[in-house]
Amino acid sequence: MNEFNDKNNSLANTNYSTSNTGSSYSSGSYYSGYDEEPKKKGSGNTKVIAAAMVCSIILSGAAGFGGGILASRFTESESVQDTPSSSISSSMAPSSPAEANTVNTTVSSGAMSIAEIAAATANSVVEITTESVVTGGGFWVQQYVASGAGSGVILSEDGYIATNNHVIENATSVTVRLHNGESYEAQIIGADSEKDVALIKIDATGLTPAKIGDSDALVVGEDTVAVGNPLGQLGGTVTNGIVSALDREITIDGQTMNLLQTNAAINPGNSGGGLFNEKGELVGLVVAKSAGSDLEGLGFAIPINDVMEVVEQLKEFGYVTGKPYLGISLVDINTVQRAMQYGVNQAGVYVMEVDRPECGLQAGDCITQINGFEVESSDDISDTIKAYSAGDTVEMTVIRNGETITVDALLGEKVPQSVQKSVTAQ
């Protein structure tokens, strides 16, 4: 993680903001005096002078007494300002350690305004456009070029950029457009479909990488800012909100992911863009495709700590190493019609093909248990295997040729067919 962040430039000077929405509130000073009527002239100057002398004596005593109090309070105020909790006045001091912790979490430390975050991150978020060849069905099979769009976040000065796997998946060309309008052809370094993270690179130097934050330090209610390319046409769009929830388990295209939830406006095209905290630090990679068209105020992002773990693997190997792989394809037989279609006489999860004979399974095996647990669908097998690593074995109970047997299935390493692919714009 540090390798991408060592050269990050420091952010602009920060200030403190009391506004959660980025709106500017005037603290305004109010005039507290009243207009005085002109004083009337008259006799009795002696009485006035005498009265003035008496008042002067009284006021002098009061001033001396009051001055002592003010001096004492001023001294106390200075001593309080020297303590770490200087922003908490004595009248608001917590009555217990628990309350003190609650109060201290609300004291801003380096918070930036929405405008400052937008300015500090503008050059770190890019627009991505893709082209891919799609084969159409129907009576006449034909191919055509489909266009796509998304966002990305610069991780290094020399052109490494993080985005979503679904943004560049199956792309024959990837183009990156910087905030200053310059465009570059991009090379796909690697991608991981399970985490929906991809790493691409452009041939450029002197770029502005995002400052990497700590997604584990986020709290619900913390301010967030999303920057991306919504609709694929509005690059550099900034929206703000809060962290709505942490550790949401969301299933996207059959993959269960651990995500951050935010109410910052997220739209198609924001995918791969940045979610920043109130210090302008990158804390998440936006996943816009999970939001339905009928939903508002519901967006998700991959925690940046998870993203960077994947990115480091992609940069070094082109894929995430050590992932378990059985090397088989499965089919769920759960209806009579489907059983007749595949020529089997009972429901279950069947092995269709075997790419790795060393796994110990055979085509036609009906898997009934894995590690002693009943198997009801192929998802049960996939979810169980994820908890293991390449080289481990899992115990499977299968029905083979009418006989129930136990197989110690050896897991291999899942390696993509192409771990690094160069793409150029057509």
Catalytic residue IDs: 166, 196, 271
**HEC sequence for 206-223:** CCCCCCECCHHHCCCCCE
**What's the token pair of residue 212?**
């990497």
Those residues whose C-beta lies under 8 Å from the C-beta of residue 405, and which sit 6 or more positions away, are: 397, 398
**What's the token pair of residue 372?**
């002693």
CB neighbour class for 40 (10 Å; exposed up to 12, middle 13-18, buried from 19)? exposed
Q: How many helices (H) and strands (E) does the chain have?
A: 8, 20
Q: How many CB atoms lie within 10 A of CB 397?
A: 18
SS3 116: helix
Report CA torsion sign: 367, 372, 376, 382. Answer: negative
CB 205 within 8 A of CB 158: yes
**Angstrom distance (rounded) from CA 150 to CA 163:** 8
Those residues whose C-beta lies under 8 Å from the C-beta of residue 412, and which sit 6 or more positions away, are: 324, 325, 326, 327, 356, 358, 359, 390
**What's the token pair of residue 324?**
């378990």
